[in-house]
Amino acid sequence: MSEGRMQRQLSIDMEVLYRQHSRRVLASLVRRVCDFDLAEESMHEAFAIALDRWPQQGLPDNPTAWLVTTGYHRAIDRLRRRARFEHASDPLLDELESAPVDVDQAIEDDELRLIFTCCHPELAFTSRLALTLREVCGLTTEEIARAFLLKPTTVAQRIVRAKARLRDRQVAFSAPESSELAERLDTVLHVIYLMFTEGYSTSSGEEATRAELSSEAIRLGRRLCELVADADCFGLLALMLLQESRRSARTDASGNLVLLADQNRQLWDSRLIEEGLDWLWQALEAGEIGAFTLQAAIAAEHARAGSSEQTRWDRISALYDVLVDVSPTPVVRLNRAVAISMHQGAEAGMALIDELLESGKLSDYHRLHVARAEMHYRLGQQARAVESWHRALLLTSHPREQELLQRRIDEISKG
């Protein structure tokens, strides 16, 4: 193998290792140094050192622990340099130098601790979500902005202010007491689901999915269910498992996206479906039915259907009627419109889509225009369908979604 090819392979391997370990490393360093920026800088230094040493020395038995330990020492070095430059003592440096580097199984829970810290009630709800998605899940500001339908500059400002508020209020980087758990739980659940969603259907990059991100969200969901016997926790885990069961069928051999109606259901993971249905049953038995449990019940209807034609759209529409009362967001209203179009006909769904467009809340959301295009097509309005697909094509920047939409436009235009 040539030296250039070896370097390219090494770069790819390190990218994989970064995606696998960086979230846990950063979470562990934040807990230890109590500073987001210092932890992030030290983590990147640790990965740079790994890039230099691991090809010669081999991969450590525990790469995460190695990176945490190395990052911890780099943080101390940074603080020492800062103290020498400012000619002043640093209480944090004194504390870190005297504390043992307790790299152990606690790493497994550090992400969950950091999520609860970022979801502190001192922060506004949207700031909690943005901060956690950036610092814990590793999403870029642009990816978070797309998830919230906001400008990247707005999201960046919220993250900076959130960090400053946690620092100024001297918030402890630890799991909350049981009495404080309830007020943070709802945000934590939303963060884990947004993390899963980004892995299940990425908002940027060449790949259609990021399996390691959704897998980590499911791991955190399972851990949360162990710690908190809550109906919403069970419902969220059920929803993620049922959606994850379709992963193998969501793309073809070339990596192209495959729509739900066209997926080979033989490829769906029956083990994950069974586990998801078990958690859904526990959620239904546990108490008040929340938004995640309702969404899991909708996903369960798809999982139970042997084919697209056998899908019980009457049940799904009824579930969306309840969900829109519990969570009346524009996206839920859009999904309800699609379900109603499948149950009552495209005209009924189109009327609801037009209401959403008139409200202006989703006018730049490409999936609304995709749904509108499909309804136009079913009504025999091919020119309008192509127009809506073109509109959707302009509004999405993801190459896999662009390819899917262009294929659809080409198919209809040729027909």
Residues in the chain: 415
What pLDDT, on a 0 to 100 scale, did the predictor assign at position 10? 47
Six-digit token string for 249: 């069928």
How many CA atoms lie within 13 Å of 306's alpha carbon, on the beta-carbon side?
0
pLDDT at residue 205 is higher than 70:
no
Q: Characterise 352 by phi-psi region: left (phi > 0), alpha (psi -120 to 50), beta (else).
A: alpha
**Angle, helices 313-326/330-344, rounded to nearest 10 degrees:** 160
Are the C-beta atoms of 79 and 40 separated by less than 8 Å? no
Residue from 101, 30, 104 nearest 64 by CA: 104
Task: Please state, rounded to an integer, the average pLDDT across all residues of the chain.
Answer: 84
For residue 246, what pLDDT is reported?
95
Contacts 24+ apart (CB under 8 A), 41-48: 41/74, 41/75, 41/78, 42/71, 42/72, 42/74, 42/75, 42/78, 43/67, 43/71, 45/70, 45/71, 45/74, 46/70, 46/71, 46/74, 47/14, 47/18, 47/22
Q: Summarize pLDDT for 100-134 with one digit per residue, the tens.
A: 445 444 445 777 788 888 888 888 888 888 888 88
pLDDT of residue 4 exceeding 60, the answer is: no
Position 1 confidence tier, pLDDT thresholds 50, 70, 90: very low
d(CA 2, CA 85): 45
Q: What percent of the chain has pLDDT over 70?
A: 87
pLDDT of the residue at 184: 80
Mind listing the pLDDT tens digit for each residue in 158-195? 999 988 888 888 777 766 666 667 778 888 898 889 88
- Sequence-ordered list of residues with C-beta below 8 angstroms from that of 117, at least 6 positions apart, any chain: 30, 166, 171, 172, 173, 174
What does the pLDDT look like over 13-65, one tens digit per residue? 777 788 778 878 888 888 888 888 888 899 999 999 988 888 888 888 888 88
Judge whether residue 394 has pLDDT over 80.
Answer: yes
pTM: 0.79
Q: What is the pLDDT of residue 94?
A: 46
Statement: residue 296 has pLDDT above 90: yes
- Name residues whose C-beta falls within 8 Å of residue 202's C-beta, 6 or more positions apart in sequence: 208, 209, 210, 398
- DSSP for 137-151, please give it: S---HHHHHHHHT--
Predicted confidence (pLDDT) per residue in 365-380, tens digit = 999 999 999 999 999 9
Which of the given ranges, 216-220, 287-291, 334-338, 392-396, has the highest pLDDT on average?
A: 334-338
- For residue 92, pLDDT beyond 70: no
Question: What number is the average pLDDT over the span 325-333?
Answer: 94
CA gap 138, 157 in Å, rounded:
17
